[in-house]
Amino acid sequence: MNGMASDHNTSSQDEYLPHYLQKEDPFASKLSREADIVAGFYLTVIGILSTLGNGYVIFMSSKRKKKLRPAEIMTVNLAVCDLGISVVGKPFSIISFFSHRWVFGWMGCRWYGWAGFFFGCGSLITMTAVSLDRYLKICHLSYGTWLKRHHAFICLAIIWAYATFWATVPFAGVGNYAPEPFGTSCTLDWWLAQASVAGQAFVLSILFFCLLFPTTVIVFSYVKIILKVKSSTKEVAHYDTRIQNSHILEMKLTKVAMLICAGFLIAWIPYAVVSVWSAFGQPDSVPIQFSVVPTLLAKSAAMYNPIIYQVIDCKFACCRSGGLKTPRRKSSLNKSR
């Protein structure tokens, strides 16, 4: 505790003391033992399904790694990020929930917070890259055909560097990782914004570069895709009635885009709202029992991403192979598009 207190200046402590610097044990669970057990079982199921799903994606992709297209390479990277969250992060929180307290101390708390933010940021930026790739290939065909495999690997390097930078910034003295109010998990120290102007600048930077900006790009990309799909299918249907199967393909693409957007928003926006309120709202006004729900919901994102990217895309591929049988017909479709 004394080590953590030294990370904050004296004047900030006089004005506001976050929950983890108050007299009570910051790592003791503030939930009932029954609630911790339920949360532990929930995370165990999520962790197993996520590990199996993302592991399967990576294994199947490794069999054809030399044939992967740029968008597929990005999808594999998303699976790697989600698998990292499941393997590196979830065991810490599962053990702590079942133990009714965080059992790994401050070092474990900082490691857990760093790993969760690192892989979470990597996952979000990868989704941003996927959305841009699909936007360019559907709405700007000249750029879409220009994107090659080596561009995808350059993009991967940028994604990992971006995630590493923002996850490591708190260790440079401008931020920190701290236990959640309910005690059995750790996250970014959102409560620094209550203590100083520097803390507010840190939190605002994280929110913009690691949430608002990527989310805006994702929403913009998929909205443009949906509009493009609707307009193109109407035009094609007007000129040629032989391409009904292409309508099915476009609808599949639209559904994938909507599911990706909805999945991201459902998983992360509630957690973001609670985090922003903790940072800039009335101090300690978020009920502890309420704060745990968005955290558990956000941790489920790694589970259903493989379903969105693999199961729906598999149906899309089956529909494509069943509907477009001849090269001549495929060529006519490309021209009409």
User: Which has the closest alpha carbon to 5: 106, 138, 131, 78?
Assistant: 106
Instruction: Name residues whose C-beta falls within 8 Å of residue 108's C-beta, 6 or more positions apart in sequence.
Output: 92, 102
Q: How confident is the model at residue 15 (pLDDT cuts 50, 70, 90)?
A: low
Provide, rounded to the nearest whole percent, the portion of the chain with pLDDT above 70.
Answer: 76
What average pLDDT does the segment 1-25 reach? 59
Q: Which pLDDT does position 263 carry in this prediction?
A: 79
Residue-wise pLDDT for 90-145, tens only, equals 999 999 999 999 999 999 999 999 999 999 999 889 888 888 887 887 787 776 56
Q: Which pLDDT does position 8 carry in this prediction?
A: 45
What average pLDDT does the segment 202-231 reach? 88
Give domain 28-230+242-315's CATH number out of 1.20.1070.10, 1.10.760.10, 3.40.50.300, 3.40.50.720.
1.20.1070.10
Q: Which pLDDT does position 265 carry in this prediction?
A: 75
Helix (H), strand (E), coil (C) string for the chain: CHHHHCCCCHHHHHHCCCHHHCCCCCCECCCCHHHHHHHHHHHHHHHHHHHHHHHHHHHHHHCCHHHCCHHHHHHHHHHHHHHHHHHHHHHHHHHHHHHCECCCHHHHHHHHHHHHHHHHHHHHHHHHHHHHHHHHHHHCHHHHCCCCHHHHHHHHHHHHHHHHHHHHHHHHCCCCEEECCCCCCEEECHHHHHCCHHHHHHHHHHHHHHHHHHHHHHHHHHHHHHHHHHHHHHHHHHHCCCCHHHHHHHHHHHHHHHHHHHHHHHHHHHHHHHHHHHHHCCCCCCCHHHHHHHHHHHHCHHHHHHHHHHHHHHHHHHHHHHHCCCHHHHHHHHHHC
Q: Which residue has the higher pLDDT, 316 or 197?
A: 197
- Look at strands 186-188 and 177-179 and give their pairing: antiparallel
Poorest-pLDDT segment among 5-14, 65-74, 172-181, 276-285: 5-14
pTM, 2 dp: 0.82
Q: Which pLDDT does position 70 carry in this prediction?
A: 80
Residue-wise pLDDT for 243-254, tens only, equals 556 556 556 655
Q: Which pLDDT does position 177 carry in this prediction?
A: 95
Query: What are the residue ranges spanned by the domains of the chain?
Result: 28-230+242-315
Q: Say if CB 247 and CB 254 are below 8 A apart.
A: no
Q: Which pLDDT does position 32 carry in this prediction?
A: 93
Which residue is associated with the tokens 């307290």? 101
Q: Which pLDDT does position 245 carry in this prediction?
A: 60
Q: Which pLDDT does position 251 carry in this prediction?
A: 60
Q: Which pLDDT does position 146 carry in this prediction?
A: 61
> Over 90: is that where the pLDDT of 40 sits?
yes
Q: Which pLDDT does position 268 carry in this prediction?
A: 85
> Over 70: is that where the pLDDT of 257 sits?
no
What average pLDDT does the segment 55-79 reach? 84
> Over 60: is that where the pLDDT of 324 sits?
no
Q: What's the chain's average pLDDT? A: 80
Residue-wise pLDDT for 151-203, tens only, equals 889 999 999 999 999 999 999 888 899 999 999 999 999 998 888 888 899 99
Q: Which pLDDT does position 114 carry in this prediction?
A: 95
Poorest-pLDDT segment among 23-32, 57-66, 78-87, 328-337: 328-337
Which residue is associated with the tokens 């529909």? 319
